[in-house]
Chain A
Amino acid sequence: MDPMAAIRETFFQECEEQLAELEAGLILMESGAAEAETVNAVFRAVHSIKGGAGIFALDALVRFAHVFETALDQVRSGTLATGPGVMNLLLRAADVLADLVRAARDNGVVDETRTAALVVEFTQISNLGHELPPAPKSQPTVCAPVPTWHISFTPTPALYAKANETALLLRELRRLGPIEAVVDTTHLPELSEMDPEGAYLTWNITLEADCAEQAIRNVFEFVEDDCDLEITAAPPAEPSLKPGDIITGDNGFSFEFFPPPVFDEEEPPAVPEPEHHAPPPSPVVRQSPVEAMAAKAESAAAVSATIRVDLDRVDRMIDLVGELVINEATLSQRVLEAGIARASGVAMALEELEHLTREIQDSVMAIRAQPVRSVFQRMPRLVREVAAQTGKQARLVTEGESTEVDKTVIERIADPLTHMIRNAIDHGLESPEKRLAAGKPAEGLVRLTALHRSGRIVLEVSDDGAGINRARVKEKALENGLISPDATLTDDEIDNLIFLPGFSTASTVSDISGRGVGMDVVRQSVAALGGRIAISSRPGHGSSFTLSLPLTLAVLDGMVISARGHTLIIPLGAIVETLKPKAADVFPLDGEINVIRLRGGYVPMVDVAASLGYSDEFVELDQSVALLVEGEGGVRAVLLADAIHGQRQVVIKSLEANYRAVPGIAAATVMGDGRVALILDVDVVVKTTRSELNRPEPSVLEAH
């Protein structure tokens, strides 16, 4: 790759980071939790993008970033109040900026009219901003010293007689920058002697503004003849002291001035000494101390403690570690077969190797682990856009952005999440009028949460909308012939109907959700990740979709079982307990299904070998072991197998990628003895029992 292209690529990578920072900062500002530093960070993000874009002559990007930056600068200086309107504009501008960056990267095109419309809005709002009183907030700290002006202003009675007013002049002045006025009342006469229309006051004003003297004079343009006006640029405070200067205090104690330590110098920062004769310790001082500090802070921010590594390299390492795990298992097996005693040196060393392998594996997995933030960050924009399209008001609250999960999982949850959030706004939330009528705030709430729970990541999308209209869902299912009219379904079962292919609850097919992609697609893509989706809904209070996904797609803790001579792995997360079935507890149900009595309840039994077609005959109860497993939505079943061989961590090898998808099988792995073992898809197996039971209606659906 030619060096320029590489730099360009880095620039766009950095842009993505800046955009993420920008979005995060703006959202913080919107929520009112922003500090001065947040506004600064937002400003810097746009400023950096503009700077980089300038180098690559990305004119459209530079132009827009400039307008955006100007507005942010006004916000920063307090001349533009960040009301809801302004925040909305800033957020939309962030979206457009992201589009422009991506268009520049991919040589794509952007919607020019949208950009132009925003620029117009910015112009309007910044003009408006001047008329607004500045927000009474603390001034953000600015790194670079801002020039200070001293203005002495003494109006004469003529000024007031001509209907001019000091307050207005001060307000005008404040537009240039923060001011601090001190009124001088020295010439104020006794109350009884004063002329109410006289002019006795003088104002000494300190103005912090990076502007020309003329700009200040322009403020007083119309009153120049009717006042005494003195404008002086205040000398900068810091540079008056040079390194090595001796400062003598009132008490006669002297010390030498040293600049703040600048850490990029080779030698360690010198320690101040009280002696007068100390030689100037600092080498050549190229910058003023303040500048040096500011530059240092910036470079520190730019060089964070991360490296960029090609994903391919990481993937290759993960593959190799996977092989190492398999190899280690093989070695263990061989040692076991050789009949070496457990206490022997070889076995001990092997155990250590096992620990080490496990640790390496965890560390490698941690490299790939990323916070879900990158996915979550895309969602506020989605919410804004969908809300705008549907005419609803929606606010997104995210929690647990820093929850880490494997990169492959992150990449593949974005689409299901996008779809679920679209659905939550389009179908879940009511219109503002309906919400108000129902006694809810007009603005709907969509909550996106991520958390770790027992070795899995759980993502939840919930809304405070109307909840699932069960009557409507059932009606629709009947219409489409998905259920028979005499079917009696529990609330939960009705809710789950929305996962059926081609099901849409909205009366009108909308642009947003009704693209022929239903919740069934979401469920499929979640299932492909080894995940589960569950729904819960309360009429009038909203619905919540819960996704439970494995943290990684590379390794799995599983129970090794055998069924008719075939070795199978059952994911440990699905297993509730193991038991030895007693014939007295087993009852045949109609057809070929048996149920087992378990602590007062009845759970359907599945012969693993029979369900996978290894054998037509059922395993004898007294020669089998049973595993109580729990599938999606808490549905339980008892799996029957010949034997349990133990618990093991296995490396997942995709069956789909290497062979083809097999129903009932989630993936494959290579065992220590080199043989391939299949990993059971518990959800599918459990569900077959459920549908084979007394629910002919859902089985119709499953067949789709």
Chain B
Amino acid sequence: MDHIHPGADTLALPPILNLTAAAALLENLLTLRGRPLSLNAGDVQRLGAQCLQVLLAARAAWAADEQELSLADCSEDFLTTLNLFGVAPKSLTYCKELP
């Protein structure tokens, strides 16, 4: 698991990340933007493609802002589905490079 930044906000991902959850997820992420963030995926049971693209876009946004984005507590289902989608958990996180 990625190192959690001490001052990072935490966003617990809901168990069902399907089509209907995508809008709320995006909204949440937008409000947390600009600060280090830790995503808790411990409860995730289902992950749809649309929430995936929100998470991928979030990673790009955090990287652009040079803020840390980490994943904590990934559930088995979350990792299995990521694998099915061909997405490595690493490509959902961003770690600021040391100068």
Residues of A within 8 A of B (CB): 133, 155, 160-161, 163, 165-167, 170-171, 174, 180-183, 185, 188-192, 194, 196-201, 203, 205
On chain A, the residues within 8 Å of B49 by CB distance are: 155, 160, 165-167, 199, 201
Residues of B within 8 A of A183 (CB): 52, 56, 85-87
Q: Could you list 13 examples of A-B contacts with CB < 8 Å?
A: A133-B80, A160-B50, A166-B48, A170-B85, A183-B56, A183-B86, A185-B60, A191-B30, A194-B57, A196-B50, A197-B22, A199-B50, A200-B53
B8 within 8 A of A: no
Q: Are A192 and B30 in contact (CB under 8 A)?
A: yes
Name B48-64 residues within 8 Å CB distance of A.
Answer: 48-50, 52-54, 56-58, 60-61
Instruction: Given contacts A170-B85, A185-B56, list 17 more A-B pairs with CB under 8 A.
Output: A167-B46, A167-B81, A180-B86, A185-B53, A188-B53, A188-B57, A190-B57, A191-B30, A191-B33, A191-B61, A194-B53, A196-B22, A197-B19, A200-B57, A201-B52, A201-B53, A203-B85
Collect the chain B residues with CB atoms within 8 Å of residue A196's CB: 22-23, 25-26, 50, 54
- CB of B57 within 8 A of CB of A189, answer yes
A155 to B85, CA, bound (A): 13
A190 to B65 Cα, complex, angstroms: 12
* Chain B nearest CB, measured from A132 CB (Å): 13
Asked if A167 contacts B48 (CB within 8 A), the reply is yes
- Point out the residues of chain B lying under 8 angstroms from A163, CB to CB: 19
Q: How far is the CA of A197 from the CA of B49 in the complex (A)?
A: 10
A196 to B20, CA, bound (A): 9
The answer to whether B84 touches A167 (Cβ under 8 A) is yes
Q: Which residues of A contact B39 (CB under 8 A)?
A: none
Kindly state whether residue B72 has any CB partner on chain A within 8 Å. Answer: no
Contact of A165 with B48 in the complex, beta carbons under 8 Å: yes
CB distance from B77 to the nearest CB of A (A): 10
Q: In the assembly, what is the distance between CA of A362 and CA of B81, in Å?
A: 64
Most chain A CB atoms below 10 A, which of B46, B84, B87: B84
Residues of A within 8 A of B71 (CB): none
Among residues of A, the one whose C-beta sits closest to the C-beta of B81 is A167
- The distance in angstroms between the C-alpha atoms of A165 and B17, with both chains bound, is 12
From A161, which residue of chain B is reached at the shortest CB distance? Answer: B19
**What is the CA–CA distance of A194 and B47 in the complex, to the nearest angstrom?**
18
A191 lies within 8 A of B29 (CB): yes
Contact A194 B84 (CB under 8 A): no
Quick check: is B75 within 8 A (CB to CB) of the other chain?
Answer: no
Q: Mask for B1-30, Cβ within 8 A of A = 1, else 0?
A: 000000000000000001100110110011
- Which residues of chain B are within 8 angstroms of A194 by Cβ–Cβ distance? 26, 53-54, 57
Across chains A and B, the number of contacting residue pairs, with CB separation under 8 Å, is 87
Residues A190 and B19 in contact, CB atoms below 8 Å apart = no
Contacting residues, chain B, for A155 (C-beta < 8 A): 49
Considering the chains assembled together, what is the distance between the CA atoms of A167 and B82 in angstroms? 9
A160 to B17, CA, bound (A): 13
| B21: nearest chain-A partner, CB-CB | A196
Complex Cα–Cα for A165 and B30 (A): 24
From B24, which residue of chain A is reached at the shortest CB distance? A196
Contact B56 A188 (CB under 8 A): yes
Taking CB as reference atom, which chain B residue is nearest A203?
B86
B85 touches A191 (CB 8 A): no
Contact A170 B84 (CB under 8 A): yes
Q: How far apart are the CA atoms of A191 and B25 in the complex, in Å? A: 11
Closest chain B CB from A142 CB (angstroms)? 21
B86–A181 CB distance below 8 A: yes
Contact B23 A181 (CB under 8 A): no
Complex: A194 Cα to B84 Cα, angstroms: 23
Question: In the complex, which residues of chain B have a beta carbon less than 8 angstroms from the beta carbon of A201?
Answer: 49, 52-53, 56
Tell me whether B81 and A191 are in contact (CB under 8 A): no
Q: Which residues of B contact A188 (CB under 8 A)?
A: 53, 56-57, 60
> Nearest Cβ distance between residue A699 and chain B, in whole angstroms?
70
Instruction: Report the minimal beta-carbon distance from A157 to chain B, rounded to whole angstroms.
Output: 9
CA distance A203 to B87 in the complex (A): 10
* Structural contact, A167 and B61, CB atoms closer than 8 A: no
Bound CA–CA A91/B58 (angstroms): 51
A183 to B57, CA, bound (A): 13
Which of A161, A174, A182, A198 interacts with B84 by CB under 8 Å?
A: A174
B84 lies within 8 A of A171 (CB): yes
Contact between B80 and A191, CB atoms less than 8 A apart: no
Closest Cβ of chain B: how far from A154's Cβ, in Å?
11
Residues of A within 8 A of B80 (CB): 133
6 closest cross-chain pairs (CB), A and B: A181-B86, A191-B61, A196-B22, A166-B49, A196-B23, A196-B26
* A149 smallest CB distance to B (angstroms): 15
With both chains docked as a complex, state the minimum distance between the C-beta of B60 and any C-beta of chain A, in angstroms: 7
Question: How far apart sit A174 and B80, CA to CA, in the bound complex (Å)?
Answer: 13
Closest Cβ–Cβ distance, residue A150 to chain B (whole Å): 13
Q: How far is the CA of A83 from the CA of B85 in the complex (A)?
A: 26
Chain A residue nearest to B88 (CB atoms) is A183
Chain B: CB-nearest residue to A184? B86
For residue A190, which residues in chain B have a CB less than 8 angstroms away from its CB? 57, 60-61
